[in-house]
Structure 1
């Protein structure tokens, strides 16, 4: 698979877990030219918010939340690359050190996990979640009862037998500190819902039982401050897509924008009924007892700060909670605006047909991203073939396909809401901005679930004639065929998920989730123009001006 951006072709990260990462003793600075060029793909963004919108008490709570988030960052390092300190000690080139920090290890996350330090080798599929040398078959045939527990690692005991070690045992000292910080914040907050959530989340970090805190988080309605914290996403586990990684977002709610978004979640059941797929794949009723809000994000930590930066969040991931209660969709407006201004607009100027550049605007970008998150609530969570939850049936193939579903059903929602008059604007702006968004996200490469999802959409739409590449090397949307392709791809993805056929999904990935030489040459043009691929952050209490 050709992945990412630049002159070097990255690995797909698909080698078996028998490839291990050895602890470097004295790593020579090498590949510096590559690293120095790749640093330029990131645009630095300062994360701030209007502190005048916060009370004096809320401004005192923010540093506690940031300190707790920083502990999640340390825990993610232990999961992604526990040899960080010895690696950094052997490096002299400051830019190489910076690139290691950006990538949480010596592999370029936005170029197919290409190693950028000599002697490192390929990135293990299982990160540090599994013993070196363990294969998928080894775990499959083991007698472990909780072999796919999201909140544990697999290790070997003194006899070589595979055992499961809970996170709250493995990381007890760090989690105790984070829990204490959340408890301190809970004592200070005046918002009852936020206080309940902080206390329950603090307890959950210490026992890995997150359901009660997830329900409390969904019940919060009046809080201005928020923190998403804990082991949440499973993208880092490319072996089974089972183990979760630590991360945190510290958020400040934008009341004005949040009020504008409140009505859309209630429309999910009606939109579910109209999905362009056979009836058996849309029988489930989406949960609607949750909120859609906009935030300024003031701190990213851990998994969400690695590789491509998240600009919207749909949580919790637990399928039972989603069906019973729904999810909260959090739009990270300041980060989203930064990506639109610094990345998407320049991409559109280079690759979107001149006659259609007028259709690129932020409101359409915001809506497309927002409804991507809302669309996670549509479709199907249980297979129709008796294989259990879709995530369990598809394992390592589930993450990227779910992101692809959210992309395409988000566009489906935009189309349907425009027709109903519940959304304003010209469909041409949403479709053209979506096309520019595809060209932005395919640059994330094959090691990213979002990158794979966008490659699939790009190649499927191209096959259906939803856009053409002009003789000038720009892309022009065919608006009628775009909608047809949207419905067709929705049908394909929902059917794949409902059937729970992992081999069929893998075949689709190998066929569609690839970058053609022609597309790669266009992406290289963006690199030559100096258009960034993603953002990194200046963040923290000093940037915010709080202590």
Structure 2
């Protein structure tokens, strides 16, 4: 049942469906089959992110799915739940729109519900440097040991094994259908990352996907906004894109000219940026996403977020042309 000032219809009325499209004519039959595998993986990322948001999220989602079969209002409520990936209104500081649900927990489902900031901070002081790195890093959840009641780190690869294993299998199957070596390498390495919890090698492979590859895929634990307690823990999301080569080439022409533009600026030499580096830009058209990716519906992203990887290997800016255009349709 609904909670709050707005009805479910009023909540949904704030969203406007917009049709987005991408030109798939450049893809061969195997690439199209790979896209289908990747879309299946996106749907599993939805399940995974729903789990990360709140400990009661999966059960509520299952209940709404069942109720929506026979009740139109529950069907609308399910639609709103799915848009928000939980029972909280994203427009009003995460107030619940489902009766009986408390405010959105800052701990999300990354930490025990009863864990406080002070308890966590005191606990990490007792850890070794390596263990502290994991406790405050992107890729481990924090749980209480059932016997000792003490906090402990659980790697994502273990905590989410039931979903990461089929996701890895789908990435492997997609990779086997693709001829482009750099994308094939990324998908296989990322599939392995989901099993080993080590993301460095696959992040570098993502940065090195060849410019002429028609398919662009981003998937993994990246953004930390869902962790409102510390912003340590990364949420899983996935984008599947088709590259827009003409627009990518146009933008890269300008970024490659930045140093020339800098040299002609009417400022004293001491104010010039002598080490100006351009970030690679890829313009794409999105065809599907999953997990944390649509919250909110972003028009671009600059990844990875790991500072050590950025220092060594750089980052990549992905601009979603059809999503940007869709925002102006309304």
Smaller-chain TM-score bracket: 0.7 to 0.9
Structure 2 unmatched ranges of 5 or more: none
Residue by residue, what CA displacement relative to the aligned partner does 1:101-142 show, whole Å, maximum 9, x if unpaired?
111111111221111122212111120111012111111110
Q: 1:528-543 counterparts in 2 under 5 A? A: none
Q: Residue 24 of structure 2 contacts residue 242 of structure 2 at CA under 8 Å; is this kept in 1?
A: no
Instruction: Work out which of the residue numbers 103, 106, 119 in structure 1 matches 2:87.
Output: 106
Secondary structure, counterpart of 1:44 in structure 2:
coil
Q: Residue 286 of structure 1 contacts residue 326 of structure 1 at CA under 8 Å; is this kept in 2?
A: no
Partner of 1:69: 42
Partner of 2:229: 239
Change (3 A) 1:37 1:271: farther
- CA distance in 2 between partners of 1:165 and 1:249 (Å): 26
The yes-or-no answer on 1:328 pairing with 2:312 is: no
Aligned length: 309
Partner of 2:30: 57
Q: Which is helix-richer, 1 or 2?
A: 1
Partner of 2:196: 207
Residue by residue, what CA displacement relative to the aligned partner does 1:11-69 show, whole Å, maximum 9, x if unpaired?
xxxxxxxxxxxxxxxxx444484332121111112332112122222112110111112
Q: TM-score, normalised by structure 2?
A: 0.86
Q: Residue 81 of structure 1 contacts residue 104 of structure 1 at CA under 8 Å; is this kept in 2?
A: no
Superposed displacement of residue 77, structure 1: 0.6
Partner of 1:301: 290
Q: TM-score, normalised by structure 1?
A: 0.53
Partner of 1:253: 243
- CA distance in 1 between partners of 2:317 and 2:218 (Å): 12
- CA distance in 2 between partners of 1:47 and 1:55 (Å): 21
Partner of 2:177: 188
Secondary structure, counterpart of 2:206 in structure 1:
helix
- CA distance in 1 between partners of 2:100 and 2:245 (Å): 51
Change (3 A) 1:272 1:101: farther
Q: Residue 234 of structure 1 contacts residue 245 of structure 1 at CA under 8 Å; is this kept in 2?
A: yes
Superposed displacement of residue 267, structure 1: 5.2
Change (3 A) 1:123 1:30: closer
Superposed displacement of residue 286, structure 1: 6.1
Residue by residue, what CA displacement relative to the aligned partner does 1:264-312 show, whole Å, maximum 9, x if unpaired?
44456788999x9xx99x9995654x52121110011111123x20111
Change (3 A) 1:167 1:272: farther
Q: Residue 238 of structure 2 contacts residue 293 of structure 2 at CA under 8 Å; is this kept in 1?
A: yes
Q: Residue 287 of structure 1 contacts residue 324 of structure 1 at CA under 8 Å; is this kept in 2?
A: no
RMSD: 2.5
Partner of 1:365: none
Q: Residue 272 of structure 1 contacts residue 285 of structure 1 at CA under 8 Å; is this kept in 2?
A: no
Change (3 A) 1:324 1:285: farther
